[in-house]
């Protein structure tokens, strides 16, 4: 989904994107995720609220491995969302092939559906131009 970009967009980092669009993060630790994802028992889970300067709100769960000593950083959360959004147009078969999932797995299918749902919410949170810009930023 690459498009013609101006100089700011080709040189912008995800931190500059966050600052330019007034995006903030509130991350509240939670004991578990309601989606029953298969994280290690020592993983840390958060309920995150992204706010785009009052123009949009995105709520999601975010998890981190036990080696992380601090809560999630906004740039990491947005980078994960952008990375997942790059799979939005994949068929289920392509999703599995690209990410190493088994096509016969119900868990893989549920993950594919969750990524598509999450990307739909990200599209609603950002303007179409911001969504394209985010996907074209260099990944962390």
Residue 95, pLDDT above cutoff 70: yes
Q: Is 26 helix (H, G, I), strand (E, B) or coil?
A: strand
Would you say 58 and 122 are in contact if contact means Cβ atoms under 8 Å apart?
A: yes
CB burial of residue 69 (10 Å; 0-12, 13-18, 19+): exposed
SS3 content of the chain, % helix, strand, coil (to 5): 45, 20, 40
Averaged pLDDT score across all residues of the chain: 89
Q: Return the pLDDT at 1.
A: 46
| Residue-wise pLDDT tens digits, 24-78 | 999 999 998 888 677 888 999 999 999 999 899 999 999 999 999 999 999 999 9
Question: Rounded to whole angstroms, how far apart are CA atoms 87 and 73?
Answer: 22
């Amino acid at each position: 989904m690459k498009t013609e970009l101006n100089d700011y967009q080709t040189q912008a980092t995800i931190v500059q994107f966050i600052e330019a669009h007034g995006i903030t993060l509130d991350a509240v630790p939670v004991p578990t995720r309601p989606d029953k994802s298969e994280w290690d028992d020592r993983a840390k889970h958060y309920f995150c609220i992204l706010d785009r300067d009052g123009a949009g709100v995105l709520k999601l769960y975010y998890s981190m491995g036990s080696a992380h000593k601090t809560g999630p950083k906004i740039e990491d959360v947005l980078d994960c969302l952008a990375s997942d959004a790059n799979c939005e147009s994949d068929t289920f078969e392509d999703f599995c092939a690209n990410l190493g999932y088994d096509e016969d797995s119900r868990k893989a299918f549920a993950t594919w559906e969750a990524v598509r749902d999450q990307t739909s919410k990200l599209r609603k949170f950002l303007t179409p131009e911001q969504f394209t810009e985010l996907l074209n930023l260099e990944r962390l």
